[in-house]
Structure 1
Amino acid sequence: VFGDRDLVEVAPRRSRATVLQILAAIVAQNQALGVGRGLVSAPAMLNTALDHARRRAAHDAAVIVISDFDGADAATRETVTALARHNDVIAVLVHDPLQSDLPPSASMTVTDGELQIRLDVGRDSVRKSVSQVTQDRLKGIFAWTHELGIPVLPLSAAEDTPAQLRRLLGGLPTRHGRTAAHSQTGAALG
């Protein structure tokens, strides 16, 4: 689990404690976000985390990268390609659809964690520029599916996460907290 300041490694184990440890690390990274906290955006942390995963992942490991992929560059592609050479890699691209479809009559404040600037996205040229940069970044990551053979799953910040994951991973709607596939397995096993 990584953020703009650090990387936290959680040893892969099949246990409730490990899941809770991962969730606690995510919460801690999320709470570190925000203007005025002295946290400056560090896009290079993506490559640092991926390189760390590349060194730690054994052959035939499942490597799931959940990120907005801010800072993805040629080195990112090389590291992801190296990871995928001997492992199963899935990229989950977290994105905010508002960045590609900004409202025409709004203004917004953007920050790098230290400095802020107010953008008048009501101006057509500003709105189109922000949208284009966002769309180009997303297209570059989605292209990994065809170019690198790595599934890239879109995860919208504007929708319910569990429902999206069920849809993306092929699950059916839940009933009583279990997917239809689990219910059928349970019925078949008695």
Structure 2
Amino acid sequence: MAGAVPGVHTSLAELIDIRHRAREVQLFSTPSRRSPLVGVHHSRLRGRGVDFDQVRVYQAGDDVRTIDWRVTARSQEPHTKLFHEERERPVFILVEQSRRLFFGSGQAFKSVLAARAASLFGWAALGHNDRIGGLVFGDAEHYEIKPRRSKQSLLQLLGRLARVNQGLHVERTPDRDGFSLALRRAREVLRPGSLVVVLCDERALSDTAEQQLGLLARHTDLILLPLSDPLDRALPAAGLLRFAERGAQLELDTHDSDLRQAYQRQAEGRVARWQRLSQKLGVLLMPLGTERDVVDQLRDHLQQRGGR
């Protein structure tokens, strides 16, 4: 779609150009800068993904288990070992491009927001020398790219992402099990220790999907990025609204305060469910909305995590 409307559809050119913006947010660590995601990008609990880096003087708050006793004995001063992420870790980007994301009242449709965020993580991972792969799932199909450490693999993922995005339109029939099926497929193909970046609609968290995420979290590290729009959270007091879909019609009186409050409570319930799930699984949750630039949102999340 050469004449893609900015914010409504994306293009491969836009997703490639995002590589320049990946420098604006430190998603992964470099030798000179430590990302707040360092605890997600490797799992010390599972004893993998870390390499010895250097020894320095022990500081308050350091893990006593990493004290280097030999250096401490020689210098008569406590020293601790530092570690950094192992290179070439598989990073798998699972990104939704369904009809329910083909909507937005902010800067971009949720489908475009998902594509931009996926591209940012892809370029950041490639710059970190990791292996990149992913799965693009929509209303009736999914497309899988196996993780490889090559720019070509990322371009293949972004190309497929752009094509599926450009094929979105309001007449498509939604597949409500698409997210669960994509998660099940990811469990089948991913090796233990992979980092999985999940970009999906905030409304996609069904009981089945929650179960699949729990199973996936047993052997991989997850970053959850549910997508929303301001109109997903609150209805405007705009009077009588009429909706039609394949012959069915619905009318809502948005001047009804009880209706608006019930709508808002339902949205708050979805937000709370994601929060409970991330706490239960011990994984990172970074919600994204269409009202703000994706780089700014990710930077804010990382700053908050770094502050903690």
TM-score by length of 1: 0.77
1:80-105 per-position Cα deviation (integer Å, ceiling 9, x unaligned)? 11111111111111111222122223
**Kept after mapping to 1: 8 A contact 2:202/2:228:** no
119-128 vs 43-52, greater mean Cα deviation: 119-128
**Kept after mapping to 2: 8 A contact 1:35/1:114:** no
Corresponding position: 1:148 with 2:307: no
C-alpha displacement of 1:43: 1.7
Q: Which residue does the alignment assign to 2:225?
A: 92
Q: Which residue does the alignment assign to 1:12?
A: 147
RMSD (Å), alpha carbons? 2.5
SS in 1 for 2:287: strand
CA distance in 2, matches of 1:119, 1:20: 44
Which consecutive residues of structure 1, in runs of 5 or more, have no partner in the other structure?
A: 172-190
Identify the structure with bigger relative contact order (alpha carbons < 8 Å, sequence gap 6+).
2
CA distance in 2, matches of 1:53, 1:162: 26
Structure whose residues are more often strand by fraction: 2
Corresponding position: 1:31 with 2:166: yes
Q: Which has the larger radius of gyration?
A: 2
1:102 to 210, 235, 256: 235
SS in 2 for 1:86: coil
41-50 vs 105-114, greater mean Cα deviation: 105-114
160-169 vs 105-114, greater mean Cα deviation: 105-114
CA distance in 2, matches of 1:142, 1:113: 35
**Kept after mapping to 2: 8 A contact 1:63/1:87:** yes
96-105 vs 156-165, greater mean Cα deviation: 96-105
85-94 vs 104-113, greater mean Cα deviation: 104-113
CA distance in 2, matches of 1:26, 1:115: 31
SS in 1 for 2:143: coil
153-162 vs 7-16, greater mean Cα deviation: 7-16
**Kept after mapping to 1: 8 A contact 2:234/2:263:** no
Letter in 1 for 2:141: D
CA distance in 1, matches of 2:257, 2:151: 50
1:80 to 213, 220, 226: 213
Letter in 2 for 1:84: A
Q: Which residue does the alignment assign to 1:163?
A: 296
CA distance in 2, matches of 1:60, 1:128: 43
CA distance in 1, matches of 2:179, 2:270: 14
C-alpha displacement of 1:158: 1.2
CA distance in 2, matches of 1:81, 1:71: 15
**Kept after mapping to 2: 8 A contact 1:66/1:94:** yes
Q: Which residue does the alignment assign to 1:21?
A: 156
**Kept after mapping to 2: 8 A contact 1:8/1:25:** yes
**Structure 2 vs 1, CA of residues 128 and 34 (structure 1 numbering), >3 Å: closer, same or farther?**
farther
105-114 vs 72-81, greater mean Cα deviation: 105-114
1:92-140 per-position Cα deviation (integer Å, ceiling 9, x unaligned)? 1111122212222355565778856453323223322322222212211
Letter in 1 for 2:234: D
SS in 2 for 1:93: strand
Which consecutive residues of structure 2, in runs of 5 or more, have no partner in the other structure?
A: 1-135
Work out the percentage of aligned pairs sharing the same amino acid. Answer: 28
Letter in 2 for 1:23: L
TM-score by length of 2: 0.49
